[in-house]
Structure 1
Amino acid sequence: MMRTLPAFAFFALSVAIFAEKPMIVAHRGASREAPENTIPAFELAWKQGADAIEGDFHLTQDGHIVCIHDKDTKRIAGKQLIIAESRLADLQQLDVGIHKGKAYAGTTIPTIEQVFDTVPPNKTIYIEVKCGTAIVPALVEAIKHANIKPEQVVVISFDKNVIKAIKTAAPRLKASWLCGFKQSKSGSVSPSFDHVLATLEQIGADGLSAGKDHLGEPLVSRIQAEGYEFHVWTVDNPEAARNFLDWGAKSITTNVPGRMKQALAGNP
């Protein structure tokens, strides 16, 4: 069953959507200029005026949560350690910055606690869970003991079971389902709108975070009309970002937060 809003609630939602300042989210930090998912990348994103950072997180063998996109370290460190089968101490021996230049030599994989420590009081962190639901208890505890408020946290994942587990364990935390749309040779787009809405309702998500491709204003508007937030990734073109903002996107995730902020403010 789809959830619907009465007319007055939809009007209030529409006002809130367009009145609220949209967030520019730094994808894996300022990842175009600094090594992705590292403290230098997140610190640079804050310096560039990002409203939020987005990072990818896995659970280690010894129960720590670390910030890294891939399930192993080969791409960013040149040496392959599988995160789920490795201890934190071993993972933090790797240099994940030298590939981005000598200035970043010696950069290590951060823990979620280290990433939390970079977040200013008025900013937000988007936590993308890249592993399964086993991370959820440790993640909820880490957020509980962090030096940030729960309102500063948004959990995102392609795994709908992760979103459902988060909303069950910590209903007050915001959580959005990640979904990328694909277009067939015949022109049809999948997943269908009905499937997306059914999934959002089933898992108790607060919103949809969609890839930028194959989106249109009708779909975005219907998502919001059903009472869900709409977020979009990964947008590096200011003109495309403006279109999504006009459609009511709550956040724009980008690899170039500084340039995006300037462009949207009307600066060259």
Structure 2
Amino acid sequence: MSSMRSVCFLVFCAGLTLVSAANPLSAVEIVGHRGASFDAPENTLSSVNLAWERNADAVEIDIYLTSDGRIVAFHDKTTKRIGGRNKDVAKQTLAELQTLDVGAWKNAQYRNERIPTLPQILKTIPAGKRLFIEIKCGPEVLPQLKADLQASGKAADQTALIGFDYDTMRKAKQLMPGLKAYWVFKVKQNKVTRRWEHNADYYIRKAKAANLDGLDVGYNGFLTADFIQKSEAAGLPVFVWTINDVKDAKKLVEMGITGITTDRPGLMMETLKQAE
């Protein structure tokens, strides 16, 4: 390589470094919480599609297994809050669940919105985007989940599994080793001693023992730059939920967060990535 070419190459690389340093927000994954749930009814096709329309990097949904073995997108254990029927999701058939209106509570324009199945939502994932699937029930859902994902034809990097129940996440990773799996948790603080329930090493050690791929943490004072750095060093990227304040989001980006889950993906994309 000639000296002139070498100089040009070094200038080009330096330019890339400067762009990267000037716009670190571009690397952060913006995840629509239950879709674009600030504006549309959570966990519905309308909410999911609105998040895609607003260019979210990813969408998060919650899933349960119905009494007849189908997987649906729903957050609560029962359909009382959304749907008006005080009965466990797991004790209803898909047909029973789809008699419920899960949109009108949010806005009249969403009247007669129905609970979607996982296959319906998987079809919406655009190229280059991914779906975070939070398992709200137990390991009984895993065989059908694997079947639905295989039947969808989506690439492995277009879906990720998340959940609070450690044992379920461990089993999910064993059954579907090709998928990313993240452990969700929020650390409690003792009101008297002000000590946190566990330290960073506890969560890192547990996640590594289950061969998980990252951590998904509820936002509070436990989540520090030190925690993020320790997790990253252990090969565990850190995601955070649920962030709707742009100031909080920017603070977390400065701390080194990998991904931000938000009810307002459009706002976050516009504000954090407007320089792209």
Query: What TM-score do you get using the length of structure 2 for normalisation?
Result: 0.87
> Which residue matches 1:199?
206
For residues 84-118 of structure 1, give each alpha carbon's deviation from its aligned partner in whole angstroms, at most 9, with x where no partner exists: 11110110111000111211011000000011111
> Which residue matches 1:256?
264
Count of paired positions: 251
Matches of 1:98 and 1:19, distance apart in 2: 36
Q: Does 1:90 align with 2:115?
A: no
For residues 98-155 of structure 1, give each alpha carbon's deviation from its aligned partner in whole angstroms, at most 9, with x where no partner exists: 1112110110000000111111111110000000011111111111111421111110
> Which residue matches 1:223?
231
Matches of 1:204 and 1:244, distance apart in 2: 25
User: More displaced, 74-83 or 108-117?
Assistant: 74-83
- Please point out which of 242, 249, 271 is paired with 1:241: 249
> Which residue matches 1:131?
137
Report the CA distance between 1:248 and its aligned residue: 2.4
Q: Aligned letter for 1:82?
A: D
User: Which sections of structure 2, spanning at least 5 residues, go unmatched?
Assistant: 1-19
> Which residue matches 1:11?
none
Report the CA distance between 1:219 and its aligned residue: 0.9
Q: Aligned letter for 1:208?
A: L
> Which residue matches 1:5?
none
Q: Which has the larger radius of gyration?
A: 2
SS at match of 1:260: helix
SS at match of 2:172: helix
> Which residue matches 2:48?
42
Question: Within 5 A, what are the aligned runs for 1:42-191?
Answer: 42-185=48-191, 186-191=193-198
Paired residues of 2:34 and 2:47 also in contact (CA < 8 A): yes
SS at match of 1:99: coil
Matches of 1:224 and 1:19, distance apart in 2: 17
For residues 207-261 of structure 1, give each alpha carbon's deviation from its aligned partner in whole angstroms, at most 9, with x where no partner exists: 0000111211111111111111111110111121112222222210000011111
Report the CA distance between 1:266 and its aligned residue: 4.8
- Report sequence identity in percent: 37
Distance 1:44 1:19, change over 3 A: closer
> Which residue matches 1:12?
none
Paired residues of 1:154 and 1:173 also in contact (CA < 8 A): yes
Matches of 1:143 and 1:108, distance apart in 2: 21
Q: Aligned letter for 1:212?
A: Y
Matches of 2:274 and 2:196, distance apart in 1: 34
Report the CA distance between 1:20 and its aligned residue: 7.5
> Which residue matches 2:9?
none
Report the CA distance between 1:198 and its aligned residue: 2.1
Matches of 1:54 and 1:87, distance apart in 2: 23
Distance 1:20 1:166, change over 3 A: farther
Pairwise CA RMSD: 1.6
Paired residues of 1:30 and 1:255 also in contact (CA < 8 A): yes
